[in-house]
Chains A and B, each alone.
Chain A
């Protein structure tokens, strides 16, 4: 895959912060690599608080200058060639910021005028995020969820080919979260590449095609969601209920599977298919009372991978 095929291409990204001139710099990003192919996929970007997610997104958008590393956005070097890439990039970073005394529509108009976006597009995006009825009210009267919708509307205004969303579901009610999920899926299906950071792991798992998990400024796992959930290619764990547990354990271990007891059942790992377990035990006259596939979810993987990331080495990213 060439650099031109990548929507986001980050190599060896480093960034440190210091609280004041006398304090030691603390790394927020420590050689981060991130490669996201262009062409209509949703890429989840996960990490604990302070792991460097927002810093990475800000570097991508040219808001923060990196100490080292190479960053390309839609094939263009950041920050030098950012003006070439930016017309195709929509973004929402953290809580969206607007001029509170102005109406939602006026805020979008000011942004649209910067890039000569036709006014008709305003109505489209306001309709898309469900804010058409409230667009002529002042932003200071908006709830957090409404501001979030307005932020997403602003991100969509340019009809981007790459959409960078930092916590897009922040402040939204369950219905709003589902709308955003559906919207992301629809946009991805229409060819928009989406990089989304979120704390809602179940949401990410539902909507993302690929995911990158970072901790302490480094990538700890990245790839298609299925691969991240089961990195060794196994189908996951099976909970097996059988009357003679010790006999069943012997048969399954002899077949090369990993087995441990869990109350009145066995947890079996390493079986390519559940039918293989059924067949092995039935051949020895042992019949199952229970067979249940225990899937690993993103939360388990995330917590396992980032378990040690809450120590004091994590740099505090300035607001």
Chain B
């Protein structure tokens, strides 16, 4: 079995499609890291100066549009209220009222120093580390599906499946090797690409941005999320290969998956709220993010003011569902292959 798997891996790695995907994936990851580094800047003073200029321009625009006519435009007082000093004064007045829910003096100082035109030009790794993973998940899933479907489908089309069976007649072994090879290759490739993506982003943050709040705890969370993403990508790759075993064609796999997405997820989701919140797409999101939040409308007769409609799909249950789907498809593929005549 190991020998067969090695052969299938060798064949997969020799394929032009896989090599192209590898190169394009690597270039895309490097491009994203490069873009992050290019857009990030440590020059906060310049960013603040730009924000101050914008603020002054906004204030001058306000002043120039002052009108004495009633209801005709802002008054001088309206424009002055934009100034930090005015905001501080107004805030401190509220502090003086000693309202327990009111602002503190510290709040006031923060408010007064806040410039709405200022955006931190630094790339915050802690804020984006997880987003980078989730945004690459669907791309990796699509790539895994296509690579696996093409790997198996092309073999049916070329007629080489029969040749291989005259060397290894145990069909289940052959199928297992053919499904495992793309799963392993995509999982390893995905892991390497994600590692490069995160490392590049961290490097960009360290040199041209900030690693503030990047704690060991955060890195553990990122690692767990990465493992979940890889697991999901591996399962989707397995599903793509399994469908190709019984459809015998790459395009047919894409058709089946696209058909499911349109009929099952989009139309099904529009027809049923329950399905929208519990369908495969929702389960996939829960699997990746750890949980998926959705809202349930209050039942008839329940006061909407007191109703708490937040519900969650959790990663554990979602993983069970995704694994069941994959195992069912592999089972169907296995049963079909063992009975089918191979021409």
With A63-B342, A97-B160, A114-B3 known to touch, is A83 a contact of B11 (CB < 8 Å)?
Answer: no
Residue B114 is within 8 A (CB to CB) of chain A in the complex? no
Residue B110 is within 8 A (CB to CB) of chain A in the complex? no
Interface residues of B in 9-30 (CB under 8 A from A): 10-11, 14-16
Q: Please, what's the 1-or-0 string for A67-106, where 1 marks a CB less than 8 Å from any CB in chain B?
A: 0000000000001001100100101010011111110001
A27 to chain B, nearest CB (A): 15
Instruction: Identify 19 new A-B residue pairs, CB closer than 8 A, beyond the known A97-B163, A99-B160.
Output: A61-B165, A63-B165, A63-B342, A65-B341, A82-B169, A86-B168, A93-B166, A96-B163, A97-B158, A98-B160, A110-B11, A113-B6, A114-B3, A114-B167, A114-B168, A115-B167, A115-B168, A116-B3, A158-B167
| Residues in chain A within 8 A of chain B (CB atoms) | 58, 61-65, 79, 82-83, 86, 89, 91, 93, 96-102, 106, 110-111, 113-116, 154, 158, 318-319
Alpha-carbon separation in the docked complex, A232 to B167 (Å): 42
Residue B7 is within 8 A (CB to CB) of chain A in the complex? yes
Q: Are B159 and A97 in contact (CB under 8 A)?
A: yes
Residue B297 is within 8 A (CB to CB) of chain A in the complex? no
Alpha-carbon separation in the docked complex, A91 to B16 (Å): 29
Q: Are A63 and B341 in contact (CB under 8 A)?
A: yes
B160 surroundings in chain A (CB, below 8 A): 97-99
Residue B339 is within 8 A (CB to CB) of chain A in the complex? yes
Residue B220 is within 8 A (CB to CB) of chain A in the complex? no
Q: Are A93 and B10 in contact (CB under 8 A)?
A: no
**For residue B162, which residue of chain A has the nearest CB?**
A63
Q: Are B169 and A93 in contact (CB under 8 A)?
A: no
Task: Sample 28 A-B pairs with CB under 8 A, ordered by A number.
Answer: A58-B341, A58-B342, A61-B165, A63-B165, A64-B341, A82-B169, A83-B168, A86-B166, A86-B168, A86-B169, A89-B166, A91-B166, A97-B158, A97-B163, A99-B160, A101-B15, A102-B14, A106-B14, A111-B163, A111-B164, A113-B10, A114-B3, A114-B7, A114-B167, A114-B168, A115-B167, A158-B167, A319-B343
Alpha-carbon separation in the docked complex, A64 to B340 (Å): 7
Residue B217 is within 8 A (CB to CB) of chain A in the complex? no
Q: Are B169 and A83 in contact (CB under 8 A)?
A: yes
B158 surroundings in chain A (CB, below 8 A): 97-100
Q: Are B14 and A154 in contact (CB under 8 A)?
A: no
B298 to chain A, nearest CB (A): 51
Alpha-carbon separation in the docked complex, A261 to B168 (Å): 61
Alpha-carbon separation in the docked complex, A113 to B167 (Å): 10
A114 surroundings in chain B (CB, below 8 A): 3-4, 7, 164, 167-168
**For residue B170, which residue of chain A has the nearest CB?**
A83
B80 to chain A, nearest CB (A): 74
Which of A63, A89, A91, A110 contacts B10, CB < 8 Å?
A110
B343 surroundings in chain A (CB, below 8 A): 58, 63-64, 318-319
**For residue B342, which residue of chain A has the nearest CB?**
A63
Alpha-carbon separation in the docked complex, A113 to B343 (Å): 23
Alpha-carbon separation in the docked complex, A115 to B342 (Å): 21
Alpha-carbon separation in the docked complex, A79 to B167 (Å): 13
Alpha-carbon separation in the docked complex, A58 to B165 (Å): 11
Interface residues of B in 147-171 (CB under 8 A from A): 158-160, 162-170
Interface residues of B in 139-190 (CB under 8 A from A): 158-160, 162-170
Q: Are A101 and B16 in contact (CB under 8 A)?
A: yes
A83 surroundings in chain B (CB, below 8 A): 168-170
A175 to chain B, nearest CB (A): 26
B212 to chain A, nearest CB (A): 50
B75 to chain A, nearest CB (A): 76
Q: Are B167 and A86 in contact (CB under 8 A)?
A: yes
**For residue A155, which residue of chain B has the nearest CB?**
B166
B6 surroundings in chain A (CB, below 8 A): 113
Q: Are B167 and A97 in contact (CB under 8 A)?
A: no
